A and B are shown apart, each in its own frame.
Chain A
Amino acid sequence: MAQAKSQNKILTGNRLRNGETVYYTAAGVWSPYVAEAKVATTPEEADALAKIGAAAYAANLVIDVNVIDVTPGGAANPAHIREVIRATGPTVRADLNKPVTPPQR
């Protein structure tokens, strides 16, 4: 999967307590579902996300915090295959994969 040219970025990390891959949302919480991530579309917004990530790391909520590229397709479409796999799970265990959006509640 080629990296698409896009300025769009989202903030991700792993939850300290259980290691779960999570994404920072517009609601100001960390969600396991990549499609819920808040998308930064400008460098200024990306910087703001990085600051939020640093604060969450300092507050011991998340670790391995990174601002990552997403394609113009939106938050559910990380640009790099590594992040696609992080978002949904190992490609060799479909039974263990998670959806990009929350299940219907």
Chain B
Amino acid sequence: MYIYDKFDHTITRERVAEFSQQVARRLTGELSEDQFRPLRLMNGLYLQLHAYMLRVAIPYGTLSSKQVRKLADIAKKYDRDYGHFTTRQNIQYNWIKLEQVPEILAELASVEMHANQTSGNCIRNVTADQFAGVAGDELEDPRIISEIIRQWSTFHPEFSFLPRKFKFAVTGAAKDRAAIQFHDIGIQVVKNDAGETGYAVYVGGGMGRTPVVAPLIKPFVARTELLSYLEACLRVYNLHGRRDNMYKARIKILVRDLGPAEYARQVEEMWPLTRAAGVDIEPAEEARIRAFFAPPPYEKIAEPVASFVDARAKTRAFAQWVQTNVHTHKVAGYGAVTISLKPIGGIPGDASSAQMHAIADLADTYSLGEVRVTHVQNLVLPNVKQADLFAVWQRLGEIGFAEANIGLVTDIIACPGLDYCSLANARSIPVAQQLSERFADLDRQHIIGPLQIKISGCINACGHHHAGHIGILGVDKAGQEFYQITLGGAGDETASIGTLLGPGFAGEDIVGAVDKVVNTYLELRQAPSETFIEAYRRVGATPFKESLYGRR
């Protein structure tokens, strides 16, 4: 993991001191709310329905066990004993008191954490593949370039007042587990024909009211030139992105209006200027950062691991959990465990302080002290020996997080929705809970196979509904909650935007409607191996429309 140097420590401490003074001036009335609001947003502090909400950055979703314990302690001491892991790989606290925020930020700084740039029109927290460094299919650990981007973008003076917020995601593998094409800039580690490692750059993707799959703007940028290229991408946007209309201010609108080719041309024209400015990283500095992500000291373990094979054979529930929740590790004898924060009927992404402490203990005992956050609102223990998987599974069962449902129909993304969020039009979490209960039967979940349901409580799409195989969007219809269904979205390397099926459903009808969609899929699939998204792409929306609305 990256460890702060004196510069990181200094700027983090200085920011805490600065914001603490701003909070004090707000509390005395020296600053008005209009003056204070942009300042608090720069520090991740929102006002939601019930209280302030603090969004804490988890760069590229990587946490040490010490940081997880601190997050747990903050939840207990300053919040209501829980936190909410988000689709941006961050954590949000829902019941924060303004007067305590300086203390919280100081506590975060003590473990090299902060809430900077988790809001506002700046470059937000960089997200990455949760299996970074342990996935067998990656070309390079995406956290290396993610950390370099983090440092470059932190308090970047030119990009602190962009037309709108700006989000990066990075994958080190061709298999996209970070939804890079739904980000303002998505980066994929690639090799060119000469066998050199560099980056493919996608620009102008996003969700919200105008969902766009990002076009590939540059197939290959050399490793040592990426920052100047990104700076050119941002500068073109900063100069020409619309500031007159917040709904048209994201880079996706600029790229769409210019056309990808013209946008790419303008970036190329700008690039020599940013390159000449010397923004690119020096090889020695790149090597220094790279070293933080060197593989940990793995043991040499021969497969098969007898105790693991034996436990799978003897305990069916464990075998099912291994099938869905344990990802192949690049090192023999290890596995990467996804901890499902989706217990049946639970709140997606929520974890209590006790659960967080238990996970930190598991990380120390079994996973070399490391935890990851996924954009699907789950956690990962990236380095578990296969011989330890049974013990990890048992302990997760004790804290209610051993659901064997990763990638299945109950592994649902849900934004906080109208239960917490001041922007929401409808509740998301209760819909997720009811769907989870409806599809609770694990054998049926396995029969249904891979299926991603994603729920947003408003058009801002924090719940990624556009990228759901089944997407659900909550809307307000004359004061009542209604839910629209989209089908065929995908957030992986085959990225696509879901198609709206038809009129929305009342809250009491949405679960039945989704059940009908699933049953229609089961009836029309050609074989159990044909997944929901494959079947949808083969047959289109019509059979699903007919099952929901009848023939027209």
Q: Give Cα A7–Cα B351 distance, bound, in whole angstroms.
A: 42
A-B CB pair tally, cutoff 8 Å: 80
Q: Give Cα A80–Cα B231 distance, bound, in whole angstroms.
A: 46
Q: Is B19 an interface residue (CB 8 A)?
A: no
Note all chain B residues with C-beta closer than 8 A to A102. none
- Whether B480 and A18, one on each chain, are in contact in the complex, defined by CB atoms closer than 8 angstroms, is no
B93-117 residues with Cβ-Cβ distance < 8 A to A are 95-99
Partner of A2, one of B33, B97, B427, B479: B479
Q: Is B130 an interface residue (CB 8 A)?
A: no
Which residue of chain B has the shortest Cβ distance to A69 in the bound complex?
A: B479
B403-443 residues with Cβ-Cβ distance < 8 A to A are 418-420, 422, 424, 427, 429-430, 433
Q: Which of A34-42, A44-52, A90-98 forms part of the interface with chain B?
A: A90-98
Q: Give Cα A19–Cα B96 distance, bound, in whole angstroms.
A: 7
Assess A18 versus B99: contact at CB under 8 Å? Given A85-B418, A86-B50: yes
Q: Give Cα A93–Cα B97 distance, bound, in whole angstroms.
A: 19
Assess A57 versus B479: contact at CB under 8 Å? Given A89-B50, A90-B50: no
Partner of B479, one of A3, A91, A92, A96: A3
Q: Is B51 an interface residue (CB 8 A)?
A: yes
Assess A92 versus B418: contact at CB under 8 Å? Given A19-B96, A86-B49: no
A66-89 residues with Cβ-Cβ distance < 8 A to B are 79-82, 85-86, 89
Note all chain B residues with C-beta closer than 8 A to A60. 26-27, 29, 32-33
Assess A79 versus B97: contact at CB under 8 Å? Given A57-B33, A86-B49: no
Q: Is A26 an interface residue (CB 8 A)?
A: no
Interface size class of A (residues with CB under 8 A): 20 to 34
Q: Is A1 an interface residue (CB 8 A)?
A: yes
Q: Is A10 an interface residue (CB 8 A)?
A: no
Q: Give Cα A81–Cα B480 distance, bound, in whole angstroms.
A: 8
Least Cβ–Cβ distance between A60 and chain B, in angstroms: 4
Note all chain A residues with C-beta closer than 8 A to B98. 16-19
Q: Is B52 an interface residue (CB 8 A)?
A: yes
Partner of B47, one of A57, A63, A85, A92: A63
11 other A-B residue contacts (CB within 8 Å) besides A19-B50, A91-B427, A92-B433 = A2-B478, A2-B480, A16-B26, A16-B33, A18-B98, A18-B99, A19-B48, A19-B52, A57-B33, A90-B429, A92-B347
B13-63 residues with Cβ-Cβ distance < 8 A to A are 26-27, 29, 32-33, 47-52
Partner of B50, one of A21, A57, A59: A21
Q: Is B225 an interface residue (CB 8 A)?
A: no
- Whether B479 and A80, one on each chain, are in contact in the complex, defined by CB atoms closer than 8 angstroms, is yes
Partner of B97, one of A17, A57, A59, A91: A17
Q: Give Cα A59–Cα B32 distance, bound, in whole angstroms.
A: 9
Which residue of chain A has the shortest Cβ distance to B420 in the bound complex?
A: A90
Note all chain B residues with C-beta closer than 8 A to A92. 347, 419, 427, 429-430, 433
Note all chain A residues with C-beta closer than 8 A to B347. 92-93
Q: Give Cα A59–Cα B33 distance, bound, in whole angstroms.
A: 10
Q: Give Cα A60–Cα B99 distance, bound, in whole angstroms.
A: 13
Least Cβ–Cβ distance between B175 and chain A, in angstroms: 33
Note all chain B residues with C-beta closer than 8 A to A89. 50
Interface centre among A2, A3, A96 (most CB of B within 10 A): A96
Give the interface of B toward A (CB within 8 A). 26-27, 29, 32-33, 47-52, 80, 95-99, 347, 418-420, 422, 424, 427, 429-430, 433, 478-481
Least Cβ–Cβ distance between A74 and chain B, in angstroms: 18
Least Cβ–Cβ distance between A13 and chain B, in angstroms: 10
Q: Give Cα A16–Cα B480 distance, bound, in whole angstroms.
A: 30
Assess A21 versus B478: contact at CB under 8 Å? Given A91-B430, A92-B419: no
Decide if the interface of chain A is mainly helix, strand, loop or mixed: loop
- Whether B99 and A17, one on each chain, are in contact in the complex, defined by CB atoms closer than 8 angstroms, is yes
Least Cβ–Cβ distance between B448 and chain A, in angstroms: 25
Assess A90 versus B479: contact at CB under 8 Å? Given A19-B50, A63-B33: no
Which residue of chain B has the shortest Cβ distance to A17 in the bound complex?
A: B99
Q: Give Cα A34–Cα B430 distance, bound, in whole angstroms.
A: 24
Q: Give Cα A12–Cα B114 distance, bound, in whole angstroms.
A: 32
Which residue of chain A has the shortest Cβ distance to B426 in the bound complex?
A: A81
Note all chain B residues with C-beta closer than 8 A to A81. 418, 479-481
Note all chain B residues with C-beta closer than 8 A to A93. 347, 419
- Whether A18 and B97, one on each chain, are in contact in the complex, defined by CB atoms closer than 8 angstroms, is yes
- Whether A21 and B479, one on each chain, are in contact in the complex, defined by CB atoms closer than 8 angstroms, is no
A-B contact pairs, 18 of them (CB 8 A): A2-B480, A16-B26, A16-B98, A18-B99, A19-B96, A21-B49, A60-B26, A60-B27, A60-B32, A63-B33, A79-B479, A81-B480, A82-B418, A85-B418, A89-B50, A91-B430, A92-B419, A92-B433
Q: For the complex of A and B, list the 5 residue pairs with the smallest distance between their C-beta atoms, beginning with the closest.
A: A19-B51, A90-B419, A3-B479, A18-B97, A19-B52
Note all chain A residues with C-beta closer than 8 A to B52. 18-19
Which residue of chain A has the shortest Cβ distance to B419 in the bound complex?
A: A90
Q: Give Cα A40–Cα B134 distance, bound, in whole angstroms.
A: 62
Q: Give Cα A89–Cα B26 distance, bound, in whole angstroms.
A: 26
Least Cβ–Cβ distance between B49 and chain A, in angstroms: 5
- Whether B479 and A17, one on each chain, are in contact in the complex, defined by CB atoms closer than 8 angstroms, is no
